[in-house]
Structure 1
Amino acid sequence: MTGSTRRIRVLIADDNRTVRRAIRLQLDSVWDIQVIGEATNGVDAVKVALNERADVVLMDIQMPGLSGVEATRELTQSPSAQIAVIVMTSFAFDQYVVQALDAGAVGYLLKSHDLDQLVDAIRAAAKGEAVISPRVTAPILREFIKRGPTQADQSQLALLTAAERRVVAALSSGITSNDDIALRLHVSVHTVKSQLQSALKKTGLADRTQLALWGARNGLDIGRT
């Protein structure tokens, strides 16, 4: 989404003016991020994100009218745009977050984030990486693990090589950056990128976050692969 000089275009969607203002004040000081608008409900979030060509949307879950989950689904399924949605939540575990991830959100952050966490998340989302707050990773992954694998999952899992399973297992364990996965598995960053792309293609999943959750549901564990 981004080049060496292009700023990341961010939309803030939250029905709380104080929250929007606080986030905007934080981001206005960051050289490679441009806040291109604000939205107070899901309908406006979808409209502004598409019209203003947002790269990343910071999406509150519970908003009037169209919810954050429904707005996320509309944006991620839009054939005319590639927009990464980061869900913002006040709680360490929220069933609505699970629904938003199912709808295509690339990840989630607690609203109690600090500036570094927020900026890192936006930059990661703009690069197509998963965005998972360490404080909420475990309960969310447990929720997907409880679902268990489907018959389709088993067929897809059989297509992955042992090396691809290890990379997906690392991703499912909350190691979200290519650099950190490469360091953990003692392989090159290029190898990580290649294996993740291959795994995405074989599973038919849309992004790294979906792949991480798929791996958790299928019991891929960094300690066992």
Structure 2
Amino acid sequence: MSKTIRIAIAEDHPILLESMRTFLNSIPHFQVVIAVTNGKELLRKMTTKQVDIVLLDLEMPILDGRKTLQILHKRIKKSPGIIILSMHGGTAFVRKYMLSGANAYLDKGCDLSELLDAIRGVHFIGYYFSPHIPEDLRLEILFDRSSDPRTIEEDMLTEREIEVLRLLCEGMPSKDVATALNLSSRTIENHRRRIYYKLGATNTLSMLREAVRKGYFELNL
């Protein structure tokens, strides 16, 4: 008989959390042993339960997925396979989190069949790449990964900065970006300055060029 794959889910949307738990528990040899809505509760429960795979949402209250990922690698001697779940696509995020210790990065819009493929891939071979990930990026990640994952780089854009960046790259004026994100114009300008600094950009054109080059934005030609 095949060994049961023990799964922990950290997802702050109750309906999605319960849907994933019900679905995964219906799959032979899969068992959800932890289902929580924040990273703090995940870490607490993992002190008493054995886990093979963690499905980790990035945006959660109390302790988000980014910080939880770092703590998992620091506190747990044999870290479980970690699959990041996010609404943000783009190769920059895949590179960022897989070089920081995650074993897979999935868009929340992926098919359930891909979720199963990712769990099995991470459990049996240690990693999983979505089909759309370019071959050169896959090779880069596999080559650069080590037993001691990098810390998440400080010069990587935050989730909010990427939201701002994408709207700016679409040609939206700062005032309209502020309205769309329910932020002040001053806050948007502060984000713009940080984005310029992190990308090494000096104007809107160079920001767009670097955003495309680093995978934060895709041009639809």
TM over 0.5, shorter chain: yes
Identical counterparts, % of pairs: 27
Residues 1:65 and 1:96: Cα distance change in structure 2 (over 3 Å): farther
Aligned pair count reads: 150
User: Residue 206 of structure 1: which of 147, 165, 175 is its match?
Assistant: 147
- The CA distance in 1 between the partners of 2:69 and 2:134, in whole Å, is 22
1:67 aligns with 2:86: no
Q: Give 5+ residue unaligned stretches, structure 1.
A: 142-170, 175-195, 211-225
Aligned pairs for 1:145-156 (under 5 A) are: none
CA RMSD of aligned residues (A): 3.1
* Superposed CA offset, 1:93-145 (max 9, x none): 2866544334311111111222221111111111242122223x24993xxxx
Partner of 2:34: 37
Residues 1:140 and 1:40: Cα distance change in structure 2 (over 3 Å): farther
- The CA distance in 2 between the partners of 1:20 and 1:205, in whole Å, is 31
User: Residue 172 of structure 1: which of 121, 139, 148 is its match?
Assistant: 139
* Superposed CA offset, 1:148-182 (max 9, x none): xxxxxxxxxxxxxxxxxxxxxxx5189xxxxxxxx
Aligned pairs for 1:64-143 (under 5 A) are: 64-93=61-90, 98-135=95-132, 137-138=133-134, 141=137
Partner of 2:14: 17
Structure with larger RCO (C-alpha < 8 A, sep 6+): 1
- The CA distance in 1 between the partners of 2:145 and 2:117, in whole Å, is 27
- The CA distance in 2 between the partners of 1:37 and 1:115, in whole Å, is 19
Which of structures 1 and 2 has the bigger CA Rg? Answer: 2
- The CA distance in 2 between the partners of 1:89 and 1:204, in whole Å, is 21
Contact 1:89/1:97, CA 8 A, preserved across alignment: no
The amino acid of 2:21's aligned partner reads: R
The amino acid of 2:139's aligned partner reads: S
SS in 1 for 2:85: strand
Q: Give 5+ residue unaligned stretches, structure 2.
A: 151-221
Contact 2:34/2:42, CA 8 A, preserved across alignment: no
The amino acid of 2:66's aligned partner reads: V
Residues 1:128 and 1:9: Cα distance change in structure 2 (over 3 Å): same
1:6 aligns with 2:10: no
Q: How high is the TM-score relative to the length of structure 1?
A: 0.57
SS in 1 for 2:146: coil
